[in-house]
Structure 1
Amino acid sequence: MKEQSQRLGTQPIPKLLFNLSVPAMIGMFVMAFYNVVDTLFIARGVGILGVAGVSIAFPVMMIIMAISAAVGIGGASVISRRLGEDKPEEANKVFGNIIFMVLLVSVVGLVGAFTFMEPLLILFGATPDILPHAVDYLFPIMLGSIFFSFAFTTNSIIRSEGNSRFAMITMIIPAVLNIILDPIFIFGLDMGVQGASIATVISQASVSIVILRYFLTGKSTLEMKLPDLRPQLLVIKETLTIGMPAFVRQVAGSAMIISINFMLIKYGGDFEVGVFGIVHKLTMFTIMPMIGVLQGMQPIIGYNYGAKQFTRLRETVVLGMKVVTIISALIFIIMMTLPEVLMHIFTGDQAVIESGSQAMRIMFAMSILIGVQVVSGGLYQALGMAKPALILSMARQVLFLIPLVLILPNFFGVTGVWLAFPLADILAFSLSIFFLYGDRTLFFKKSKDTSDYIPAHSN
């Protein structure tokens, strides 16, 4: 086993979490920055309807990403535990089955581009003015779904073996390429939103080649072997069961955006959909650092749980919770004090700036609670405990946010959409605390022997 995997069970936790989380945070930050810049170019080059078109198309992209997340994150959990149990050959079989599932996802995306794409966009709320922009953006994305699926899935796998530095590079490469190509295609070639989409596909294809070379040249702990691509039902079932919370989280995000767009069109119009398109990209930007910390925690937790090193597991959880809480507090301060500055980056339209600033202040009113929510679901996922991971992954968006988005606008109009966010944060935080408290013996309390401990919410 390579040193990059062995250190998960030996290196001091503060140093290890720093070494794994910082590259993940940088990678996520750069990706989020690319998303913001992408929206900025579209807003400046096409206008608010172009942003609205991307906002309508984005849930379809999230469905593709949801399947990839289920395969990648579920597989990463299984692989990190197999490595912790010193079973490299079984880890390779899991990896081979993951590649097989990526190919299946790609076929669905390719077929969908020519069949159900446009009806799906209409179902998701595209108006006659928005639909052409949404189609222009989504068609190239679906044609290139193999690159998105492969890059998105393998990033989780690379992290699971402890190589956070290369995982960071695989996020930075497409982001930087995209930032370079966007103005060329959008402005230089006058291709509008389709230019932004083509730039994204080219960027993902480029990094896919880099990742493939990594696995084929022996730089990975894992080996890509043709016999391992043969599907094994038990491996696929375990991977998807553990990855289901990630799938639900991504699909819930898609459903959330669809619900919000629907209610904004009902109680506002295309203008509000465009405003939300900008605000949503800023929202993604703020949550990425916390996801980076979680991504650093997961391989440590999975490996040490498999190796029955529970003291290291607890130390990782406590330190991670402290870090994400600090990040949450900083986000709260920024969003309460600088929303106008952030909106002004995207547009000079005063109406858009005022509307977006009001929305952000309301949406982030309870953002200090987000960190614990992010970590709790991912914590159970790293341990391979599908049920609590699924419930906590569903909590904020499915159980609380979507119902509130559909209910509150009936009383408060467009403002009701924004109010749903802080209320959902309070409820999801409370549920996370309930689960963590129930399993405090495993996660927080130091005891002489927890090798036979059964988590309170594992069944």
Structure 2
Amino acid sequence: MTNRPDLLNDNLWKVARRLSPPGILGMLMISVNSLIDSVYLGNLVGADAFAGVSLLFPLTLIISAATGFIAAGSGSVLSRAIGAGNVKVQRKVIPNLLALALLFSAVLMTAGLLFTDGLVALMGGEGEVLEAGKEYFWAYTCGIFFSIYGLSANGLIRAEGKVKEAMNYTMISVVLNLLTTPLFITVFSMGVAGAAWSSVFSMGIYSLLTSWYFIGGRSSFSTGRFRVRIERAIIKDVISVGTSSLSMQLSNVVRQFFLFRLVAAYGSNHDIAFFGAAFRLFSFVSVPAMGLLQPLQPVIGINYGADKWQRCMDAIKTFRLGAIGLILLLLTPIIIFPETVISLMIPGEKLIESELNNLRLIFLAMPWLPVASTGIIFFQATGKGKLATTIPVARQLILFVPLVLLLSLMSGLDGIYYALAIENMAYAIVVQLLLRKELKKLDPQAGLSAG
């Protein structure tokens, strides 16, 4: 008797309960990991160090974009090869992944090490904030390969359907980073750079663990020999699927660049630190919700293939409600005790009421996030890659950039927070309207019930 739920027939709430927890825990671990450096730096070094590292968000997103490109493309190719029993393709996935990871790492590491000062200065930091950012970014850049390869290889484990195993390796890395970061900062007297070197060390162990998983024969597919090679038979497929993830990530780089540049232009070092703390909290809440939505893509894909249009819509509604509920649960302490939560990252900083109100404003807009995300997942699962790529990119260029520039010009620093809240809600509404339009092409009744 199988422990896997029947995606075509089981109650959808049962499917969500069975498939979502490993995804939530895995994504939560990643979210916690992103907060570790901030909390330690804010408490052990100071607010300027926290602000300097916060400015690096757009630069680190470029690394995330490269990782997403490799992981999404390779995972998609592997999943289909496993389903088709195509051993020849299965054996090409890891050599191709290694080659892409080395290629992207070489390019990004070279650029990062050669232009550290200019890249960090471009983000708008000055004085101690700039120096802290440069110190952290140089060390972080040295370990780019471990981040790109480790996370991409772990994505192959998820592509096998072994979400729990993938989560376990992630958890080991997060706990290791949690334990070693204060040692690198204080005991080893590395200061700001110590936080980065701790992350590099943890990701190095993470990469070794995932490699050991494949080399030790624990995977369910034929890995072939561990070698570095661009495989012409699959590279076009990897690029085709990975481009969607890459374009979405890069559009977020544009978003974060504008945000942090505007905060630096209109505010002080304190404002940069506060916005950085708010941004990390936003990520902390949204990432687990995205983990809950991970199983939605196969649920929609399988039912779409079986012409079960209404079940696709029911799945969207089920997972959407679950994600909204999780977001509200995580938001509750932030909305009620914002000052206490923020002080965990930037202790000793005096917060005024308008800052706390801005924080509440952007978080109260967060329940709209699953509305937009479930629509994009539907487009990806049903093979509408062009639509799934175009919408997020157009969001940044047509909706976000003009709105944040206009409102910041009118209201200064407060306008940035107003723009974030309005833009999140407007984007969700646009995606929902496009979702209804696509569903009407398949089944008029399903489209009408897409609310």
Determine helix, strand or coil for the equivalent of 2:291: helix
Which residue in 1 is equivalent to 2:196? Answer: 197
Q: CA deviation at 1:186?
A: 1.5
Change (3 A) 1:347 1:117: closer
Which residue in 1 is equivalent to 2:111? Answer: 112
- Runs of at least 5 residues in structure 1 that lack an aligned partner in the other structure: 448-454
Change (3 A) 1:80 1:303: farther
Which residue in 1 is equivalent to 2:156? Answer: 157
Change (3 A) 1:443 1:283: farther
Residues in 2 aligned to 1:77 and 1:164: alpha-carbon distance in whole angstroms? 15
Change (3 A) 1:54 1:92: same
Q: 1:70, 1:240 within 8 Å by CA — same for their partners in 2?
A: yes
For these two proteins, the number of residue pairs brought into alignment is 446
Q: 1:59-78 maps to which residues of 2 (within 5 A)?
A: 59-78=58-77
Among all aligned residue pairs of Structure 1 and Structure 2, give the percentage whose two residues are the same amino acid: 26
Change (3 A) 1:9 1:368: closer
Q: CA deviation at 1:422?
A: 1.1
The alignment status of 1:275 with 2:274, answered yes or no, reads yes
TM-score by length of 1: 0.87
Which residue in 2 is equivalent to 1:236? Answer: 235
Does 244-253 or 423-432 show the bigger shift?
Answer: 244-253
Residues in 1 aligned to 2:186 and 2:351: alpha-carbon distance in whole angstroms? 22
Which residue in 2 is equivalent to 1:296? Answer: 295
Change (3 A) 1:257 1:415: same
Q: CA deviation at 1:56?
A: 1.9
Q: 1:84, 1:304 within 8 Å by CA — same for their partners in 2?
A: no
Amino acid at match of 1:402: V
Does 193-202 or 132-141 show the bigger shift?
Answer: 132-141
Amino acid at match of 2:208: I
Residues in 2 aligned to 1:11 and 1:135: alpha-carbon distance in whole angstroms? 53
Q: 1:2-401 maps to which residues of 2 (within 5 A)?
A: 14-226=13-225, 230-233=229-232, 235-302=234-301, 316-331=315-330, 333-352=332-351, 354=353, 356-394=355-393, 396-401=395-400
Amino acid at match of 2:385: A
Change (3 A) 1:92 1:5: farther
Q: CA deviation at 1:151?
A: 1.8
Residues in 2 aligned to 1:177 and 1:303: alpha-carbon distance in whole angstroms? 38
Q: CA deviation at 1:208?
A: 0.7
Q: CA deviation at 1:218?
A: 2.1
Does 74-83 or 409-418 show the bigger shift?
Answer: 74-83
Q: CA deviation at 1:127?
A: 2.1
Change (3 A) 1:8 1:356: same
Amino acid at match of 1:57: L
Amino acid at match of 1:145: I
Cα offsets for 1:194-231 (capped at 9, x unmatched): 11001000000001111011112222123322498542
Does 18-27 or 177-186 show the bigger shift?
Answer: 18-27
Could you list the structure 1 runs, at least 4 aligned residues long, displaced by more than 6 angstroms after superposition. Answer: 3-12, 306-312, 442-447
Cα offsets for 1:339-365 (capped at 9, x unmatched): 122113223435247565233112123
Q: CA deviation at 1:415?
A: 0.1
Change (3 A) 1:166 1:103: same
TM-score by length of 2: 0.88
Amino acid at match of 2:180: L
Amino acid at match of 2:194: G
Determine helix, strand or coil for the equivalent of 1:439: helix
Change (3 A) 1:375 1:269: same
Residues in 2 aligned to 1:107 and 1:5: alpha-carbon distance in whole angstroms? 41
Q: CA deviation at 1:334?
A: 4.4
Which residue in 2 is equivalent to 1:450? Answer: none
Residues in 1 aligned to 2:81 and 2:19: alpha-carbon distance in whole angstroms? 19
Residues in 2 aligned to 1:83 and 1:380: alpha-carbon distance in whole angstroms? 23
Q: 1:159, 1:295 within 8 Å by CA — same for their partners in 2?
A: no
Determine helix, strand or coil for the equivalent of 1:351: coil
Q: CA deviation at 1:332?
A: 5.2
Residues in 2 aligned to 1:229 and 1:316: alpha-carbon distance in whole angstroms? 40
- Runs of at least 5 residues in structure 2 that lack an aligned partner in the other structure: none
Amino acid at match of 1:342: V
